[in-house]
Amino acid sequence: MKERILVVCEKPTAARRIAHALDDDGAPEAYDEGGVPLFIAGRGDFELVVVSALGHLFSIAQDGGKWTYPVYKYSWVPAHDADKRQARTKRFIQAIERASKGATGYVSACDLDMEGSLIAYMVLLNVCGEGSLNEAKRMRYSTLTERDLIRAWEGMSPTLDYPLIEAGRTRHEVDWLFGINLTRALSLSLKNASGIFKTLSIGRVQGPTLNFVKEREVEVKTHVPTPFWVIKAETTIEGRRIPLDYTEARIGKKSDARKVVRACQGKDGVISTVSTRRVEQPPPPPFSLGDLQREAFSKFRYTPRTTLNSAERLYLSTHISYPRTSSQKIPPTIDVRGILEGLRRRKEYTRLAASLLKESKLRPMQGAKDDPAHPAIHPTGTIPGMITGVDARVYDLICRRFMASLSGPALRENVSAKVTVDAEGSNYAFFLRGTKLVEDGWIKFYEPYVKEKGSELPKLSKGQKVPFAKLRSLERYTKPPARFNPGSLLRLMEDEGLGTKATRTDIVDTLFKRGYVKGSTTEITDLGFTIIENLERYVPDILSVEMTRSLEEDMGRIQRGEFSRANAITKTVEVLESTLSGFKAHEVRIGSEISGAITREEERSSYLGRCPGCGDGHLRIIVNKKTGKRFAGCSNYFAGKCTTSYPLPQRGRITTTEISCSECGAPIIKATLRGMSPWELCINIDCPSKRGGSTDE
């Protein structure tokens, strides 16, 4: 009789692939246990029962007590007991429990990171019993290809990765303590001050991140434009109009700028020097998760969440390596040639991959960042079938970046010619600048995503006359710093050591979900600003980057065996006790200010324009309490002064355009439905413009 081994995976898709890879015949038995997919694979003398979690099947819950704070006592419980929305997890726990009967060995085959290690540990501990941990082993892999999974099975670690598990468990408990206490403090302050209940979350990473957005918004709003002047000049050489750069990019005084124009107008410049310099541009390293998210935002305007979801789908389909990595390195254990042989079978990469395969040695460009668990994101060489949309673009980005990292540097030749004008006893200097690509190197592999900058100059010589075809001074104003976009905010979090590669995307998502920020430029809302302002005033420690970074460093020390979970929890409780006592003392004032911000946000978001009926009221979005349908009504209705109202589209987002209809005077609104382009329309369904003609007879 074969020995029965329970193999715990993180997701159903991964379980299916692992079962197929490990089965001797590649055809494991699949069956359904109460809606939960399970697999039985035969491998030598073993019968492998491959089961799947559904992410975290166990989570943290408060030990008794009411919905108040502070809360310091908690337990790990089944996820469905902690959150009714996780009811589906109960079926998975029950199915795993039945499947584990008779097992004598156990394997953690979840993703190789804190989350995956913790998921398997909690399943074994709470479903299979503490004794299972003594018999448990660990598979380590970075792709779901058959080759890597078999290699991971044959090279299993004899024990679970306990330092990683302990760090993951600590992170969950620390984040839970911060999250539940600060969320309740904010939410209850609002409820006690105004009677309004609204979940207002904040956390040890969320707070400092939102504060970054707030500080940038202050810089933007308080920026005072300062005038400066620039010299715009052009010359014509061999029939081409070429710009001339004045030696000073910015001139502080208008009179100085005019002096340059007056002195050089109508004169010829003379080339005094011509310098040529060749510059190598090294290839980019392969992607870390943060790099991929920023590049996808830059090239496709994809949010970090969209990019991560796509990368995870590609990983589960075996087309790329594990995406949640901070590495920019491809280790020598990766079969680079094998991957290129695979890519060569896809027509758009055939020529590119073949050119790389001609090289006797392939050395990928290695970035500075490393990850002990996983290499940089790279294609596996398995060729996807029909992929379209987001997945196709993200896959192409990853493949081309991987090939570019294996190529040589690009070589540019930069030419700079100094043009001088002697006038009115002074010497004025301008520059002609050009560049040309001498060797394309890595650029030919990454070409769709890298833009050529600059243009080649005609042949120039010392002493050559350069006539000014155009010369003028223009007034400009300094601009405020740009607001963050999701990509640049992720980079700042990474640079400041806030969160992890696995959590940063969720934190940015939460800021939008809670209504603290909005728009593609991540603009802070009145609510977000008010929350940060109050935290800054009364409990500034929660916004401290140093405090958050210190806790992150503790996780790393736990993973290295240099610090204990108990010490990290004690440190967390000490910080919270100080923070929450300061919060309690000012709870009513904090709640009142947040209530005011919520009211202002609701009024602003519901405002549609001036009422054409009474002239002094405002049309706002109103929801009928009985039917749940929305319509536009005048703000003077409740005062008995106006009964003007209009129906509204019942789906999508409605916003004002601040424009009135030229036909009837009613507001023009903008309607936005997911997946569709926004459109504008007059709010008045009886508007003459909607009848297709004029009212004139």
- CB distance 538 to 586 below 8 Å: yes
Identity of residue 202 = I
- Clarify whether residues 615 and 669 are in a common domain: yes
Tell me, what's the pLDDT at 453?
67
CATH number where 254 lies: 2.70.20.10
Q: What is the mean pLDDT of each run of 10 residues along the chain (697 residues)?
A: 92 95 94 91 94 94 90 95 92 95 95 93 96 95 95 96 94 94 92 88 92 95 95 92 94 95 92 95 95 94 93 95 95 94 94 93 92 93 89 97 96 95 88 93 93 83 93 95 92 90 90 89 91 91 89 89 93 91 89 88 80 86 86 85 88 85 86 79 84 44
Phi, psi dihedrals of residue 71, rounded to the nearest 5°: -125, 120
CATH number where 155 lies: 3.40.50.140
Domain boundary among 350, 381, 405: 405
The CA distance from 415 to 302, in Å, is: 37
Identity of residue 667 = P
Active site residue 538: no
Q: What share of the chain is helix, strand, coil (3-state, %, to 5)?
A: 40, 25, 35
Give bridge partners of residue 20 from the DSSP assignment: none
Residue 250 three-state SS: coil
Q: What is the 3-state secondary structure (H, E, C) of 433-493?
A: EEEEEEECCCHHHHHHHCCCCCCCCCCCCCCCEEEEEEEEEEEEECCCCCCCCHHHHHHHH
Provide the 10 A C-beta neighbour count for residue 664. 16
Residue 605 domain flag: no
- Clarify whether residues 353 and 445 are in a common domain: no
CA 588 to chain centre: 35
- Clarify whether residues 376 and 467 are in a common domain: no
- Clarify whether residues 384 and 327 are in a common domain: yes
Residue 345 three-state SS: coil
Residue 622 domain flag: yes
Residue 277: enclosing H or E segment and its boundaries? strand 268-281
- Clarify whether residues 470 and 392 are in a common domain: no
The CA distance from 162 to 165, in Å, is: 5
The CA distance from 332 to 407, in Å, is: 16
- Clarify whether residues 29 and 43 are in a common domain: yes
Domain boundary among 461, 477, 493: 477
- Clarify whether residues 216 and 323 are in a common domain: no
CATH number where 377 lies: 1.10.290.10
- Clarify whether residues 44 and 142 are in a common domain: yes
- Clarify whether residues 145 and 13 are in a common domain: yes
Residue 206 structure tokens: 């969320």
Tell me, what's the pLDDT at 222?
95
Phi, psi dihedrals of residue 74, rounded to the nearest 5°: -155, 165
DSSP 492-536: HHHHHT-S-TTTHHHHHHHHHHTTSEETTTTEEPHHHHHHHHHHH
Provide the 10 A C-beta neighbour count for residue 593. 19
The CA distance from 594 to 186, in Å, is: 9
Q: What is the residue range of 395's domain? A: 289-405
- CB distance 2 to 42 below 8 Å: yes
- Clarify whether residues 61 and 148 are in a common domain: yes
- Clarify whether residues 401 and 414 are in a common domain: no
Q: Tell me which residue of 292, 485, 324 sits closest to 390, measured CA to CA.
A: 292
Residue 328 domain flag: yes
Residue 606 domain flag: no
The count of structural domains within the chain is 5
End-to-end Cα separation, the chain, in angstroms: 95
DSSP 404-441: HHTS--EEEEEEEEEEEEEETTEEEEEEEEEEEEEE-T
Compute CA distances 613 → 145, 395, 429, 633, 645, whole Å: 67, 55, 65, 10, 9
* Cβ neighbours for 595, distance < 8 A, ≥ 6 positions apart: 190, 193, 194, 196
The CA distance from 326 to 294, in Å, is: 13
The CA distance from 19 to 9, in Å, is: 10
Compute CA distances 408 → 61, 440, 487, whole Å: 54, 9, 28
Q: Tell me which residue of 94, 92, 90, 109 sits closest to 5, measured CA to CA.
A: 109
Residue 391 structure tokens: 């997945």
Tell me, what's the pLDDT at 226?
95
Residue 602 domain flag: no
Domain boundary among 378, 405, 432: 405
Beta-strand (E) ranges in 126-203? 136-138
Q: Tell me which residue of 434, 429, 396, 427 sits closest to 412, measured CA to CA.
A: 434
- CB distance 54 to 88 below 8 Å: yes
Give bridge partners of residue 475 from the DSSP assignment: 229
- Clarify whether residues 18 and 127 are in a common domain: yes
Provide the 10 A C-beta neighbour count for residue 276. 11
Residue 209 domain flag: yes
The CA distance from 309 to 307, in Å, is: 6
Residue 601 domain flag: no
Q: Which of 322, 349, 395, 516 is catalytic?
A: 322
Provide the 10 A C-beta neighbour count for residue 367. 18
- CB distance 635 to 611 below 8 Å: yes
The CA distance from 555 to 495, in Å, is: 17
The CA distance from 600 to 605, in Å, is: 9
CATH number where 498 lies: 1.10.460.10
Q: What radius of gyration, in Å, describes the C-alpha atoms of the chain?
A: 32
Q: What is the 3-state secondary structure (H, E, C) of 290-343?
A: HHHHHHHHHHHCCCHHHHHHHHHHHHHCCCECCCCCCCCCCCCCCCHHHHHHHH
Provide the 10 A C-beta neighbour count for residue 655. 16
Residue 247 structure tokens: 């030696």
Residue 357 domain flag: yes
Give bridge partners of residue 61 from the DSSP assignment: 75
Identity of residue 217 = E
Rounded to 5°, angle at Cα 189 from 185 and 190: 125
Rounded to 5°, angle at Cα 193 from 185 and 591: 50
Give bridge partners of residue 421 from the DSSP assignment: 428
Crossing angle between the packed helical segments 304-316 and 504-513, to the nearest 10 degrees: 130
CA 488 to chain centre: 9
Q: Tell me which residue of 653, 660, 654, 617 sits closest to 636, measured CA to CA.
A: 617
Q: What is the 3-state secondary structure (H, E, C) of 75-108?
A: EEEEHHHHCHHHCHHHHHHHHHHHHCCCCCEEEE
- CB distance 96 to 54 below 8 Å: no
